[in-house]
């Protein structure tokens, strides 16, 4: 299991969740943040830090946000627009690569 960031984060990207994550598994797209499910340790520290309540446990994601579970994984496993390779898992976490600056097609359409 891992945590997922839903639609409420789009165009907000407050980054409070990043400050609370002890393992640096939250990555910044262009308009939204993404949690790497391969790096997330399910500690839940990010969830209460989110001012728009966009973060849920993947298995408890509301029905109207379920598409973000697969989309969150897609951010890390498929090449994003304008990129040759997937983001993948990064040794050292998100801080090692910085802002990715591009979103999945789902988020780009919002």
Query: Could you read off the pLDDT of 42-78 as tens digits, one per residue?
Result: 999 999 999 999 999 999 999 999 999 999 999 999 9
Give this prediction's pTM. Answer: 0.94
Count, in order, helices (H) and strands (E) of the chain.
Answer: 4, 4
pLDDT at 35: 97
- Is 26:3 a contact under the CB 8 Å cutoff? no
Measure the CA–CA gap between 39 and 110, rounded to whole angstroms: 26
- Is 39:65 a contact under the CB 8 Å cutoff? no
Spans of all domains in the chain: 3-109
Give, in words, the CATH class of 3-109.
alpha beta
pLDDT at 1: 66
The end-to-end CA distance of the chain, in Å, is 26
Read off the pLDDT of residues 96-109 as tens digits, 9 standing for 90 and up: 889 999 999 999 99
- Is 17:52 a contact under the CB 8 Å cutoff? no
pLDDT at 84: 92
pLDDT grade for 13, boundaries at 50, 70 and 90? confident
């Amino acid at each position: 299991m891992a945590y997922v960031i839903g639609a409420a984060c789009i165009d907000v990207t407050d980054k409070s969740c990043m400050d609370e994550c002890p393992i640096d598994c939250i990555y910044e797209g262009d308009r939204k943040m993404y949690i790497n499910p391969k790096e997330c340790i399910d500690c839940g520290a990010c969830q209460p830090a989110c001012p728009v309540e966009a973060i849920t446990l993947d298995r408890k994601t509301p029905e109207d946000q379920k598409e973000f579970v697969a989309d969150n994984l897609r951010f890390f496993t498929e090449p994003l627009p304008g990129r040759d390779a997937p983001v993948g898992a990064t040794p050292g976490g998100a801080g090692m690569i910085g802002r990715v600056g591009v979103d999945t097609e789902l988020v780009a359409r919002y």
